[in-house]
Amino acid sequence: MLLSGRIKSFQSLLMAAMLVFAVGCVKQTVETEELPPPKPPAPMVRKKPAPKPPMKKKEMDVTEAERRRKRAAFKRSLAAFENDLVYFDFDKSEIRSDMRATLDAKARFLQEFPSIRVQVEGHCDERGTVEYNIALGHRRSQSSKDYLVSLGVKASRVDTVSYGEERPADSRSNEAGWAKNRRAKFNVIGGIPAGMN
């Protein structure tokens, strides 16, 4: 009987343990009720920069009008640069005092538009030999270039050439015609800024 009392006591103890275990499981289940799965994180989307608001018609007109105004002003300055000639005395290549203002204006134009390259043509009247006039025309174009360089224009932007008596501006063989032929002429040969031509 002792054995059977021990078995019953063991069985009771075992039952009590199972009951505690079962109650603990139920309690745990109740405490951890099922939650819905977490939402996946939203994919990263790169935000595009906000588009610039369209320009109003008035703003576009002002901008275009400003461009046209600048282009017209450049063309006037360019025409003056190329059409204003530097004249020389007979058989001389020194810059005359009355021609300095013309060269000063040319230097200002070149400083305002630093990409522009020019060529200075030296010309003579028909008196003298062809060889002499080519050399004199070269001295005239070179003295014009030197004057511009003395005002701050880079020498590399100015080329020179001499035509001697080959390209007269006036075909008359008198002092009025010869005076027009003793000249330096300036031509833009490159570097006109974008949008200005």
Return the closest-CA partner of residue 164 out of 188, 147, 181, 149. 181
Q: Is the whole model's pTM more than 0.85, yes or no?
A: no
The pLDDT tens digits for 20-62 are: 666 555 544 445 566 667 777 666 666 677 776 665 555 555 6
The pLDDT tens digits for 51-103 are: 766 655 555 556 888 889 999 999 999 999 999 999 999 999 999 999 999 99
Contacts of 65 (CB under 8 A, 6+ apart): none
Contacts of 110 (CB under 8 A, 6+ apart): 116, 118, 148, 153, 157
The CB density around residue 169, as the number of other CB atoms within 10 Å, is 14
All structural domains of the chain with their residue ranges: 112-197
Q: How far apart are CA 90 and CA 84, in angstroms?
A: 19
> If you write DSSP's letter for every residue of 132-175 in order, what string do you get?
HHHHHHHHHHHHHHHHHHHTT--GGGEEEEEEETSS-S---SSH
Name the β-bridge partners of 162.
122
The pLDDT tens digits for 147-195 are: 999 999 999 999 999 999 999 999 999 999 999 999 999 999 999 998 8
What architecture (CATH level 2) is domain 112-197?
Answer: 2-Layer Sandwich (3.30)
DSSP strand pairing (86-87 vs 183-190) = antiparallel
Q: How far apart are CA 176 and CA 117, in angstroms?
A: 32
Contacts of 80 (CB under 8 A, 6+ apart): 105, 109
The pLDDT tens digits for 102-133 are: 999 999 999 999 999 999 999 999 999 999 99
Q: Give the pLDDT score at 132.
A: 97
